[in-house]
A and B are shown apart, each in its own frame.
Chain A
């Protein structure tokens, strides 16, 4: 048995880490899908090759995150998912389309490849937009009124562009030559998505809730938290500066757009986590009110502490095996 007060906090942290890993990892492969219309056919093959060995495991972080919500906070799970019924359905159909298009485009008769490419793009777009929409609705307290839905539509667009930015960063990292140069252009076009998205959420969150406003803008918090927006701003400037000079000789700094985008997402996530803590359903239900029994959480935690390092280990192994520039995908 673990401490009944600590357990919900541990699970909220685990769930947060899963969501963050999902947003970064599936973010880049969703982004690659979003960039499909801007690429030629042979470029699309190479982009697919760069995410082929990873996408399935990346999506598993979403299953873990939703699984942790389901098992650790069953009451919140019902509240959040019934409120987000439609966007969840759109996301699921999007995930289905892109997941299967991935396989079908390589195995279907030659003439069918293009429709499956369109399905891959459409599925990625549905997934990205609905996730951004859910993010906005969550920030707005899960209430379906027009101004709030309008805000959610804004974050939907912003997250999709942000995903395409980190996707372009991935392509810069994993390819070379003409495609890499093209991806630098895509990244330049997509960086505003991250700025707009993070800016909108940062501006709106304190306005929606007095509690969150006080958390950020009372002294000394405001001074302690200042590095968060300052570092984010600095990163955006550095990214913009780097993108104007990439690709560099000897492929130096090809990793920077992807790592920079990841760092921005981590910072944005930390800010949001700070705002909403200790609530899991915004302003309604805290993690302690929504948590499962101590006994059930204990039994999951034992397994998690044992298994999670192993999962991390073989995930790193997979990224190590498929390191370097992406080559043509083959089963041989």
Chain B
């Protein structure tokens, strides 16, 4: 394998591993703030138990997110020097603002949030929790600004082959940012909703009847049920935005080769790039045209429009985009069914009388959000190929001149470390869930006791 392919696999491996943890912490920070404020309001012990359980998951996820994120910041230089050399004038300030406004905020206040409850007044601890949640969200904002700009660049001009910023407002609020940001924040919310519901279901199945377990189930399922319809709507709008700015990506997602009307929505197909056609197509007639153009006869661009005169494809590889998209949508649909079935069952039977098969289903979907998030990112990122920055820089132009063997050796090392850490992470999460009910110790901290003490105000 050559350096380009190996570098791409390495970057994909690193960023895939990394994104799993911010996906949890972005939304979990706000959920922790919610638990803390519910406790301040109601003085019910179960809210503090929920906070104490999930703050451990948060700390673990945060650490994994930080260390895998540091890897990312170095990879730009070690493997993709052409990226910063070409678009550094735009990517640089955006990354700098992420470090300055988000990383330090979350890192410093995380220490106070985790270990400071007995050392600072209650209001300051709540404030630290808020600032950590705010910091992770700001971090998501800045990095998605950069990512969106790479998909839909705006507000720049090329001077001697180097990108120079002309309009920062246009760069930050580039055409795909609002959709991508909403889609990712909702994905984070759904990931956390199903993680909370799944682990609570697991604890319930193991006979843990602490009040926090039933409440956790209810919070998780309700959050999922509220967010999934919004996410489907946001995803649809994101798709229409992509159709406008990156039609070749949508063509690959739909597996549509010819620009035509009455394009079917394919449920199954094996795209064959050599023959430039699909095999074993099963589809619903005209549905893709209806979704994308709101008209059965609507003309949808096809992949054959994106072939250079010498025959090089200027569209992404079709099968990975086609299938990642279907995996994402499939998991999303499963989330819709499971979350709304849960709401119905809770309405009819209560959160403490859910049928066991349903609880097993929820447990099985604990990490469903990860699957959908990764599949979604693969759709959009592979869908950008061969471009690194759409229309400005290809990945091939940006790759560094490193011996393939060297990239291969570091790739193997990263993969080995990630495999061990992934197993350890999931193992420890379920270990915490098992222990969560057994080690049921009284909360013994000033400032966080169920009785009103100095520093805590019910109005917080």
Q: What distance in Å separates the Cβ of A136 from its nearest Cβ neighbour in chain B?
A: 18
Q: A52-B115, A96-B68 are in contact. Are A82 and B402 (CB under 8 A)?
A: yes
Q: Are A53 and B114 in contact (CB under 8 A)?
A: yes
Q: Are B84 and A330 in contact (CB under 8 A)?
A: no
Q: Are A322 and B77 in contact (CB under 8 A)?
A: no
- Which residues on the A side are within 8 Å of B164 (C-beta)? 293, 295
Name B76's contact: one of A70, A296, A330 (CB within 8 Å): A70
The answer to whether B414 has its CB under 8 Å from any CB of chain A is yes
- Which residues on the A side are within 8 Å of B120 (C-beta)? 321
Q: Are A81 and B77 in contact (CB under 8 A)?
A: yes
Q: How many angstroms between the C-alpha atoms of A69 and B93 in the bound complex?
A: 12
Q: How many angstroms between the C-alpha atoms of A89 and B93 in the bound complex?
A: 25
The answer to whether B274 has its CB under 8 Å from any CB of chain A is no
Interface centre among B99, B111, B401 (most CB of A within 10 A): B99
Name A296's contact: one of B63, B90, B110 (CB within 8 Å): B90
- Which residues on the B side are within 8 Å of A234 (C-beta)? none
- Which residues on the A side are within 8 Å of B71 (C-beta)? 92, 95-96
- Which residues on the A side are within 8 Å of B443 (C-beta)? 332
Q: Are A331 and B56 in contact (CB under 8 A)?
A: yes
Q: A60-B99, A93-B417 are in contact. Are A71 and B93 (CB under 8 A)?
A: yes
Q: How many angstroms between the C-alpha atoms of A323 and B164 in the bound complex?
A: 46
Q: A60-B99, A303-B96 are in contact. Are A332 and B444 (CB under 8 A)?
A: yes
- Which residues on the A side are within 8 Å of B402 (C-beta)? 82, 85
Q: How many angstroms between the C-alpha atoms of A71 and B108 in the bound complex?
A: 23
The answer to whether B59 has its CB under 8 Å from any CB of chain A is yes
Name B112's contact: one of A53, A102, A332 (CB within 8 Å): A53
Q: A85-B402, A93-B414, A321-B119 are in contact. Are A57 and B81 (CB under 8 A)?
A: no
Q: Are B55 and A92 in contact (CB under 8 A)?
A: no
Q: A53-B112, A107-B60, A108-B424 are in contact. Are A296 and B88 (CB under 8 A)?
A: yes
List the one stretch of A32-40, A190-198, A276-284, A307-315 in contact with chain B.
A307-315
- Which residues on the B side are within 8 Å of A81 (C-beta)? 74, 77-78, 81
The answer to whether B95 has its CB under 8 Å from any CB of chain A is yes
Q: Are A332 and B92 in contact (CB under 8 A)?
A: no
The answer to whether B101 has its CB under 8 Å from any CB of chain A is yes
Name B111's contact: one of A53, A100, A104, A296 (CB within 8 Å): A53
The answer to whether A13 has its CB under 8 Å from any CB of chain B is no
Chain B residue, CB-CB nearest to A76: B77
- Which residues on the B side are within 8 Å of A70 (C-beta)? 73, 76-77, 84, 88, 92, 95
Q: Are A296 and B117 in contact (CB under 8 A)?
A: no
Q: What distance in Å separates the Cβ of B453 from its nearest Cβ neighbour in chain A?
A: 13
* Binary contact readout B332-350 vs A (1 if CB under 8 angstroms, 0 otherwise): 0000000000000000000
Q: Are A57 and B64 in contact (CB under 8 A)?
A: no
Q: How many angstroms between the C-alpha atoms of A93 and B410 in the bound complex?
A: 9
Q: Are B66 and A67 in contact (CB under 8 A)?
A: no
Q: Are B424 and A307 in contact (CB under 8 A)?
A: no
Q: A57-B108, A304-B100, A322-B115 are in contact. Are A104 and B424 (CB under 8 A)?
A: yes
The answer to whether B432 has its CB under 8 Å from any CB of chain A is yes
- Which residues on the B side are within 8 Å of A311 (C-beta)? 100, 104-105, 108
Q: Are A292 and B88 in contact (CB under 8 A)?
A: yes
Q: Are A103 and B168 in contact (CB under 8 A)?
A: no
Majority SS of interface residues in chain A? Answer: helix
Name A329's contact: one of B85, B103, B115, B400 (CB within 8 Å): B115
Q: Are A62 and B78 in contact (CB under 8 A)?
A: no
Q: How many angstroms between the C-alpha atoms of A118 and B13 in the bound complex?
A: 25
Chain B residue, CB-CB nearest to A306: B100
Q: Are A96 and B99 in contact (CB under 8 A)?
A: no
- Which residues on the B side are within 8 Å of A331 (C-beta)? 52, 55-56, 114-115, 117
The answer to whether B428 has its CB under 8 Å from any CB of chain A is yes
Q: How many angstroms between the C-alpha atoms of A109 and B78 in the bound complex?
A: 37
Q: How many angstroms between the C-alpha atoms of A92 and B77 in the bound complex?
A: 13
Q: How many angstroms between the C-alpha atoms of A89 and B70 in the bound complex?
A: 11
The answer to whether B448 has its CB under 8 Å from any CB of chain A is yes
Contact residues of A between 253 and 273, Cβ < 8 Å to B = none
* Binary contact readout A71-82 vs B (1 if CB under 8 angstroms, 0 otherwise): 110110111111
- Which residues on the B side are within 8 Å of A89 (C-beta)? 78, 410, 413-414
Q: How many angstroms between the C-alpha atoms of A86 and B408 in the bound complex?
A: 11
- Which residues on the B side are within 8 Å of A208 (C-beta)? none
Contact residues of B between 384 and 406, Cβ < 8 Å to A = 400-402, 406
The answer to whether B294 has its CB under 8 Å from any CB of chain A is no
Q: Are B421 and A100 in contact (CB under 8 A)?
A: yes
The answer to whether A68 has its CB under 8 Å from any CB of chain B is yes
Q: How many angstroms between the C-alpha atoms of A311 and B402 in the bound complex?
A: 37
- Which residues on the A side are within 8 Å of B108 (C-beta)? 57, 311, 314-315, 317-318
Q: Are B97 and A303 in contact (CB under 8 A)?
A: yes
The answer to whether B259 has its CB under 8 Å from any CB of chain A is no
Q: How many angstroms between the C-alpha atoms of A107 and B92 in the bound complex?
A: 37
The answer to whether A99 has its CB under 8 Å from any CB of chain B is yes
Q: Are A97 and B417 in contact (CB under 8 A)?
A: yes
Q: What distance in Å separates the Cβ of A33 from its nearest Cβ neighbour in chain B?
A: 14
Name A71's contact: one of B68, B96, B111, B114 (CB within 8 Å): B96
The answer to whether A63 has its CB under 8 Å from any CB of chain B is yes
Q: Are A62 and B414 in contact (CB under 8 A)?
A: no
Q: How many angstroms between the C-alpha atoms of A109 and B435 in the bound complex?
A: 9
Q: Are B115 and A60 in contact (CB under 8 A)?
A: no
Q: A59-B66, A296-B165 are in contact. Are A304 and B96 (CB under 8 A)?
A: yes
- Which residues on the B side are within 8 Å of A96 (C-beta)? 67-68, 70-71, 417, 421
Q: How many angstroms between the C-alpha atoms of A315 and B112 in the bound complex?
A: 11
Q: What distance in Å separates the Cβ of B246 from its nearest Cβ neighbour in chain A?
A: 26
Q: Are B118 and A332 in contact (CB under 8 A)?
A: yes
- Which residues on the B side are within 8 Å of A292 (C-beta)? 88-89, 92
Q: What distance in Å separates the Cβ of B7 from its nearest Cβ neighbour in chain A?
A: 11
Q: What distance in Å separates the Cβ of A144 from its nearest Cβ neighbour in chain B?
A: 12
Q: Are B431 and A109 in contact (CB under 8 A)?
A: yes
Q: How many angstroms between the C-alpha atoms of A329 and B445 in the bound complex?
A: 12
Q: What distance in Å separates the Cβ of B370 from its nearest Cβ neighbour in chain A?
A: 17
Q: How many angstroms between the C-alpha atoms of A104 and B420 in the bound complex?
A: 12
5 closest A-B pairs (Cβ-Cβ)? A78-B81, A71-B92, A81-B77, A53-B111, A332-B445
Given A77-B76, A296-B93, A314-B104, 6 additional A-B pairs, CB 8 A? A64-B99, A70-B92, A81-B81, A82-B402, A292-B92, A318-B111
9 A-B contact pairs sorted by A residue (CB < 8 Å): A52-B114, A66-B74, A69-B77, A85-B410, A96-B71, A102-B63, A107-B60, A299-B168, A314-B109
